[in-house]
Amino acid sequence: MSSHVPSSRLAALSLAALGVVYGDIGTSPLYALKEVFGGAHHPVPITPDNVLGILSVVFWSLMVVVSLKYVIFILRADNKGEGGIMALMALALHPLQEDSWLRRFIIVIGLFGAALFYGDGVITPAISVLSAVEGLEVVTPTFKLYVLPISLVILVGLFLVQRRGTATVGTLFGPIMVFWFIVLGILGIASIVQNPQVLQALNPLYGVRFFANNPILGFFALGACVLALTGAEALYADMGHFGRRPIQLAWFGLVMPALLLNYFGQGALLLQDPTAIENPFYRLAPEWFLLPMVGLATMATVIASQAVISGAFSITQQAIQLGFAPRMEICHTSDEEKGQIYLPSINWTLLLAVIALVVGFHSSSNLAAAYGIAVTGTMFITDILAFMVARYLWGWPVWKAFLGALPFALIDIGFFSANTIKIADGGWFPLIFGLMVYLILSTWKRGRDLLKKRLMADAMDIDGFVNAIDDSITRVPGTAVFLTANPAIVPQAMLHSMKHYKALHERIVIVSVSIHDVPRLEDSKRVTMQPLKSHFWQVKLHYGFMERPNIPEALEWCAKSGLDFNPMETSFFLGRETLIPRISSEMCFWREKVFVAMFRNAGSAAQFFGLPPNRVVELGTQVVL
């Protein structure tokens, strides 16, 4: 997305970004300080020095990690407008040799970082909505029994509206989030005015003194303080939906000031009344506004979930195009913004996982232990990938790239280490979930490479095949388009067609599709073609990893070079492999079985490439892995 956009367009995008990107981090005040001072895991005693120390840690964490690292630095590491850990991984891989150990290392950590982000995508809706609905318990304890069912109904409704697209969702949610952040700021200011000494926490020495006086407790407290940073990775993953400038404008113009005012307001309240720790966020509100505040917070947390859900859609599309995930149905929900998409299978998978999580953990406090691992693990992997991009793509000297990434990495390591002590209390969930997603992504990639190797073993060179064609081969009228992953070899579907029909079409077009590690390509670079003997043509189509291939549309470009297509006289031939797993040294048997199941259930190639269903012929073959 271009950085030069009209002011009216920029304002509209910034408003929509508030409704999608900043919902996650914008609802952290609901539970962050509550977990620090009143959580089940090593709560910090409420004393003036401790409150000021924790507020100082939260303030400077937001300044350094979110403002400096993500909003200013990481957002610049965009892959031609697209963000997220998969786009960052593609950037880091771009300058590296195909078979280098560094490339394999980047793929491993990038995939695991993406897997942890999916874990974040499951935990965020659960903890956010639960923490908001739990405000009903502040109104009256009799509502406690209804917290869980109400939360589940809200979550189901959220996932049902995803098919409307992020543009519609963002436009609907944006004004609500503006009101939310304004209310956060007003409630914070009202409390700060009553206890202005809380502003002393702006001095970083209070944070340093807190750790000096309480080294062990301070380390444990980091595990809860990181909850104030949740959503930073999501704003990067959602950059392709709205662009860098709207996200930066929304952060510095409204989100950051409102969050800081509310955190300091909660701190001022705790200095004045330590018993408010039962729910310091809701205790900021006057009694008459408590019930409306629960309703507003519930809407805000529904919106908070949107950030990671949209990010999961974007990362999945990138994974598909880069060859790390099987084909899935991708619905484009906007005619203007290419990055706004909806993936039904991911949407319903996330919903089922969220429901299981809410039912299993019951409360936001229980989920807080699981939350930090996913967030901090992804953040640290982002540091490593950003270092690789700065060093190998931007050409920074090693010392400059290292010193640039080191402060952020040390901070994220501290946060991650503090959360590892919660593994037994819920931190196991994102690790297990992330490991499962990682195995799926890596198994698909390894399986595809193995399948390619098996097909190449029996492959025939296309040039030799074409030279061997003579007049004894019957040629029938029309054009046959054969899709192949490797244009240098004869497509399996063509060999099977000759075997069964004993003939070839009078014109043969061999089409291959290449997905590049950039989000989008110019139309002028879309098609390259080469005529061969005996009315054979090689056509190579090129797409970015955020584009959806449409082969019939791309083939229309060939008319300028003398290769025009009559849709009614063109048949598209696809190979359909039936895979048979076997015990071998190249891939574990159980992973082969997983790959075969994924391959069998992958989306239709004809649908993925936009082929007309009534012009497609599929020819099958068996392949032993």
Write the pLDDT tens digit of every residue in 403-444.
989 999 999 999 999 888 888 877 788 888 888 988 998 899
* Tokens 């002028």 sit on residue: 524
Dihedral sign (CA 445, 487, 521, 401): positive
Q: What is the CATH number of the domain that holds 376?
A: 1.20.1740.10
Provide DSSP, 1-70: --S---HHHHHHHHHHHHHHTSHHHHTGGGTHHHHHHHSSSSPPP--HHHHHHHHHHHHHHIIIIIIIII
Q: Which two tokens stand for residue 574?
A: 């696809």
The domain boundary, picked from 446, 477, 495, lies at: 446
Q: Is residue 456 part of a domain?
A: no
Asked if 473 and 440 sit in the same domain, the reply is: no
Q: By percentage, how much of the chain surpasses pLDDT 70?
A: 94
> From the centroid of its chain, how far is CA 103?
21
Q: What is the C-alpha separation between 241 and 235, in angstroms, rounded?
A: 10
Residues 492 and 368 in one domain: no
Confidence (pLDDT) at 408: 92
Cite the DSSP H helix spans in 421-570: 428-457, 462-468, 492-501, 551-555
Backbone phi, then psi, for 101, in 5-degree steps?
-65, -30
Beta-strand pair 474-483/570-580 = parallel
Burial 196-214 (b: 16+ CB within 10 A, else e): eebeebeeeebbeebbeeb
Q: What is the DSSP letter of 585?
A: S
Please compute the mean of the pLDDT values over residues 73-87 and round it to a whole number: 79
Residue 128 covered by a domain: yes
pLDDT interval class at 169 (50, 70, 90): low
| Dihedral in degrees, nearest 10, Cα atoms 309, 313, 318, 321 | 160
- Alpha carbon distance 89, 163 (integer Å): 28
Domain closes at, from 420, 446, 472: 446
Does residue 183 share a domain with residue 64? yes
- Residue 418 and residue 358 share a domain: yes
Q: Are 279 and 362 part of one and the same domain? A: yes
Last residue of a domain, one of 446, 477, 506: 446
Number of residues assigned to the chain: 625
Average pLDDT over residues 185-213: 94
Going 250 to 251 to 257 to 262, the CA torsion angle's sign is: positive
Same domain, 432 and 530: no
Dig out the tokens for 58 from the structure.
């939260």
Tell me, yes or no, whether 163 lies in a domain: yes
The answer to whether 341 touches 333, Cβ cutoff 8 Å, is yes
Rounded to an integer, what distance in angstroms lies between the CA atom of residue 380 and that of residue 415?
A: 9
532 and 433 part of one domain: no
- Reported as a single tens digit per residue, the pLDDT across 373-386 is 888 888 899 999 99
> Does residue 429 sit in the same domain as residue 467?
no
Angle at 109 between CA 107 and CA 115, to 5 degrees: 100
Helices (DSSP H) in 195-231: which residue ranges?
A: 204-213, 215-225
> In the predicted model, is pLDDT for residue 337 greater than 60?
no
More confident residue, 518 or 413: 413
Q: Is position 453 within any domain? A: no
pLDDT in tens, 225-274: 988 988 787 778 777 767 788 888 889 989 999 999 999 999 999 999 99
Average pLDDT, the chain: 83
pLDDT at position 1, please?
44
HSE at residue 149, side-chain half, CA atoms within 13 A, is 4
Per-residue pLDDT tens over the stretch 121-168: 888 888 878 887 887 777 777 777 788 888 889 888 888 877 776 556
Domain that holds residue 178: 12-446
- For residues 139 and 135, give the distance between their C-alpha atoms in angstroms, rounded to a whole number: 7
In the chain, % of residues over pLDDT 90:
18
Number of domains in the chain: 2
Distance (Å, rounded) from C-alpha 592 to C-alpha 574?
23
Residue for token pair 């032993």? 624
Between helices 364-388 and 428-457, what is the axis angle to 10°? Answer: 50
pTM for the model: 0.76
Q: How far apart are CA 19 and CA 302, in angstroms?
A: 10
Q: Are residues 510 and 572 in the same domain?
A: yes
Question: Is 451 contained in some domain?
Answer: no
The reply to whether 55 falls in a domain is yes
Least confident of 470-479, 559-568, 584-593: 559-568
Judgement on whether residues 484 and 379 belong to the same structural domain of the protein: no
pLDDT of 46 higher than 80: yes
Tokens (6 digits) for 295? 């309703």
The pLDDT confidence band at residue 334, using thresholds 50, 70 and 90, is: low
Question: Cα(293)–Cα(298) distance, rounded to whole angstroms?
Answer: 8
Does the residue 97 lie in any domain? yes
Say if residue 416 is in the same domain as residue 563: no
Q: Are residues 439 and 475 in the same domain?
A: no
| Residue 241 pLDDT | 67
Reported confidence tier of residue 322, pLDDT bands at 50, 70, 90: confident
More confident position, 373 or 517: 373
Domain-located, residue 4? no
